[in-house]
Amino acid sequence: MPLRVLHLAGSAVSDFHADLSLTYARGCLAATADPARYDPVPAYVSPDGRWRFPASLDADAIAGATPLAPADALAHLGRLGLDVVLPQMFCLPGMTSYRTMFDVLGIPVVGNTGEVMAIGARKAVAKAMVGAAGVEVPVGEVLRRGERPTISPPAVVKPEDADNSLGVTLVREPGDVRAALDAAFAHADRVIVEEFVPLGREVRCGLVERDGELVGLPLEEYLLDDARPVRAYADKLARDDAGLRLVAKDDPDVVIVDADDPLTARVWDVARRCHVALGCRDYSLFDLRIDPAGRPVFLEASLYCSFSPASVLAVMARAGGIGLDELLATAIAQARKRA
């Protein structure tokens, strides 16, 4: 009998996060369609907080579905006979509160808990926890509005809880600090100012849990240089007439690192320590800067996966010989085993 899998998409916060969620969730539904194995149940949360249960996540199907207030949606969820939830929301409530809600309902959730997602979203908190586990982290400070940094340029200024490099600025001169703070505060109430880690290399490392083992996936490297020493929002996402576009997926400066590269083993070791320190489960994803001396330095945690072919974790897994079907089936099996 196929498993009933709730594909939870949308956003209770903004159209941007809703569009981002739909971009990945649609890809997941299309790529993992297997009637013998899964009975997919799409669910969409709109920025007004209402739920819809459309036949698909196409725009017309969503528009035609009956909107439900949260209380009515919860009652409907209880009648669906769900076996597992695949969360594909990227806004902060979607990554935290909505996941925790399913824990309360007793429905197993694929991926990290809402509590762990909250830690990952608070970059300063995540950095403190992995730093306490012996991982190298940049020296930094958290500021509120009206406070001034004590760290001198060159420094990176970024919102504490925003993703996709929104509001991130590399400040090289003291006179540019105020504009950088304004750009970051436009996206968050707290801002991080960190010492700039000189560029050696920059990589993203993914881990998946298989048979009780943390398996390191092939690294993804961003080919940065002095002209582009940090990644910006434009390196990741763009909007055109067709909607939201995943720029990074077509960027020739994003490459898979050869498995024989000596850096790989060092980064895997650091990523495993981060995974354990943060209390991750099923999978995890970390951005690390490699300084000129070859030391991996933790930048941030990205603890989500939509199981779309475009998901970074899926791309890495594929490069390591793990297909999307296997990746998803393993994660679902682990989620159900926890229940």
CATH number at residue 39: 3.40.50.20
Same domain assignment for residues 294 and 236: yes
Same domain assignment for residues 85 and 39: yes
Same domain assignment for residues 155 and 221: no
**Would the pLDDT of 319 be above 80?**
yes
From residue 74, alpha-carbon distances to 68, 71, 79 in Å are 9, 5, 9
| Chain length of the chain | 339
Q: What's the CA gap between 330 and 31, in Å, rounded?
A: 16
Pick from 332, 328, 321: nearest CA to 217: 321
Contact call for residues 219 and 270 (beta carbons, < 8 A):
no
Contact call for residues 207 and 215 (beta carbons, < 8 A):
yes
Same domain assignment for residues 26 and 77: yes
Average pLDDT over residues 137-149: 94
Which pLDDT band holds residue 32 (cuts at 50, 70, 90)? very high
Same domain assignment for residues 27 and 172: no
**Would the pLDDT of 236 be above 80?**
no
**Could you tell me how far CA 121 lies from the centroid of its own chain?**
9
Same domain assignment for residues 234 and 294: yes
Would you say residue 321 lies in a domain? no
Would you say residue 256 lies in a domain? yes
**What is the extent of the structural domain holding 179?**
140-195
Q: What's the CA gap between 310 and 249, in Å, rounded?
A: 7
Residue 199, pLDDT score: 86
Would you say residue 328 lies in a domain? no
Average pLDDT over residues 8-28: 95
Which pLDDT band holds residue 161 (cuts at 50, 70, 90)? confident
Same domain assignment for residues 161 and 239: no
Same domain assignment for residues 73 and 91: yes
Pick from 136, 100, 103, 94: nearest CA to 286: 136
Long-range contacts of 317-322 (CB under 8 A, 24+ apart): 317/206, 317/208, 317/217, 319/217, 319/218, 319/256, 320/215, 320/217, 320/218, 320/259, 322/208, 322/217
H or E element that contains 281: none
Which pLDDT band holds residue 241 (cuts at 50, 70, 90)? low
Contact call for residues 111 and 94 (beta carbons, < 8 A):
no
* Structural domains of the chain, count: 3
- In the chain, the percentage of residues whose pLDDT exceeds 90 is 84
Residue 253, pLDDT score: 81
Same domain assignment for residues 126 and 145: no
Residue 230, pLDDT score: 74
For 80-89, what is each residue's pLDDT tens digit? 999 999 999 9
**Would the pLDDT of 182 be above 50?**
yes
Among 227-231, 242-246, 287-291, which stretch is predicted with the lowest mean pLDDT? 242-246
Which pLDDT band holds residue 250 (cuts at 50, 70, 90)? low
Residue 71, pLDDT score: 96
CATH number at residue 183: 3.30.1490.20
Query: Mean pLDDT in the chain?
Result: 91
Query: Which amino acid is it at 262?
Result: P
Average pLDDT over residues 65-73: 97
Would you say residue 28 lies in a domain? yes
- In the chain, the percentage of residues whose pLDDT exceeds 70 is 92
Same domain assignment for residues 169 and 252: no
Average pLDDT over residues 264-280: 97
Same domain assignment for residues 130 and 239: yes
Which pLDDT band holds residue 247 (cuts at 50, 70, 90)? very low
For 273-292, what is each residue's pLDDT tens digit? 999 999 999 999 999 999 99
pTM for the model = 0.89
